[in-house]
A and B are shown apart, each in its own frame.
Chain A
Amino acid sequence: EAGVAQSPRYKIIEKRQSVAFWCNPISGHATLYWYQQILGQGPKLLIQFQNNGVVDDSQLPKDRFSAERLKGVDSTLKIQPAKLEDSAVYLCASSPPTGSNEKLFFGSGTQLSVL
């Protein structure tokens, strides 16, 4: 079974630039999550999708972050404009449609450095 795919693996940008991350979840997984993991911290949920719809985006900084899930499958997360404090690993995760949303399957993440 293929895992959660993310790209790119690494990204270096200057502050005030924009950046986008892409995620392809495990086939058949209805729920998709984007997490931000700052060095030395645990992952923090940014946004949760159930199929096409947003379930929770309460911790998404909406003035600069946006996310969409195309046709209930792939998802993109965008930051515009980036700030220094956005330097982190951005993890995508998905979970199967059986209600077990604690059993998350994570991708390897995109490491973002904002200079």
Chain B
Amino acid sequence: QKEVEQDPGPLSVPEGAIVSLNCTYSNSAFQYFMWYRQYSRKGPELLMYTYSSGNKEDGRFTAQVDKSSKYISLFIRDSQPSDSATYLCAMRNSGNTPLVFGKGTRLSVIA
């Protein structure tokens, strides 16, 4: 079993839809959870960062972490064509341990 599992998609939705992206993980020591967005031919950029369990909201984006289920989610409300990108979940333990990335989910928002 891989440490971080993420459905690669592709996921195609109409403009204005609510998008749900998810990752599961196996390492119960993970404490820091991130979502990165990667546009084609670009490097990933940090979108959301959450420590431990709970929710975090930033504009149209909401990140949720459920450590009991080892499951994290990213919700995008009122999705826009500019949201079309690959979304990577990433997580790590405490201390100076490296990030472990999921494979990424490719999202297309159709106008």
Contacts and interface: CB of A to CB of B under 8 A. Distances in A.
A and B are partners in one complex rather than unrelated chains: yes
A14 to B, nearest CB: 23
Given A48-B98, A103-B49, A41 B43 contact: no
Interface residues of B, number: 22
B60 interface: no
A102 B43 contact: no
B88 interface: yes
A2 to B, nearest CB: 14
A42 B45 contact: no
26 contacts: A4-B43, A40-B103, A41-B103, A41-B104, A42-B88, A42-B90, A42-B101, A42-B102, A42-B104, A43-B44, A44-B101, A45-B98, A56-B96, A56-B98, A91-B43, A102-B49, A102-B92, A102-B99, A104-B99, A105-B45, A106-B43, A106-B45, A107-B43, A109-B41, A109-B42, A111-B41
Interface of B: 4, 6, 8, 32, 34, 41-46, 49, 88, 90, 92, 96, 98-99, 101-104
